[in-house]
Amino acid sequence: MLEMNKKPEVIAGIFLLLTGFSVIITLLTDVKFLTALSSISEDIKYISENTRILQINSFLWISSAFLMIISTAALIAAIIPYQSFLGYLQGLFLFLAAAMFCFSGIKGLAINELLQNFNELELINADSLKNNILALSKEKDIYLITGYNLIGLCFFVIGIFAYLTLRIPLFTGIMSSLTGIMIPLFTIFFRIVCLEILV
């Protein structure tokens, strides 16, 4: 029984669950710009009233990235004995996704730093401040969307691993592949809809 609990697959599964919960909590606390529905000034005012939540959310993204890196190592250890190429490939995708989430958290902290002194800085150069905050917010979103797509690719690779080795239940492999396809499609569709609204 102790040997079963020490299997790399079990360790990888535990860290993936922790990472999943962390990402869900982070998404629930996310503070977004709504420029398509309101003015930039209203968006900045809304976010400046929620700087604490933005700061917590940014640290949560960085924490999620750290958990994802551990999950990457655990998944590589679990997969490479059976498919070394797929093991390293999914590890690469997941590691890059972790980097994207970490960068997103850093951008969020940069936005928070600007917003903390918003009232004082606004009197000096309001337009420049708003443009900087909006630019940082767009960069943050780009990192997040890239991270989501990389996670989708990782799921797809895990699905292929399930088909080739049957080390994972086939149903799980099918769901993993479908998830891997749906995440990029959903993010692309979401971006197109947002661009149409902005236009």
More confident residue, 82 or 115: 82
Nearest to 98 by CA among 158, 133, 131, 144: 144
Cα distances (Å, whole numbers) of residue 152 to 55, 131, 198: 27, 32, 26
Number of domains, the chain = 1
Report pTM. Answer: 0.81
Q: How many CB atoms neighbour CB 62 within 10 A?
A: 18
Give me the percent of the chain exceeding a pLDDT of 90: 20
32-69 pLDDT tens trace: 665 555 566 676 777 777 788 888 889 999 998 998 99
**Residue 13 belongs to what domain range?**
2-198
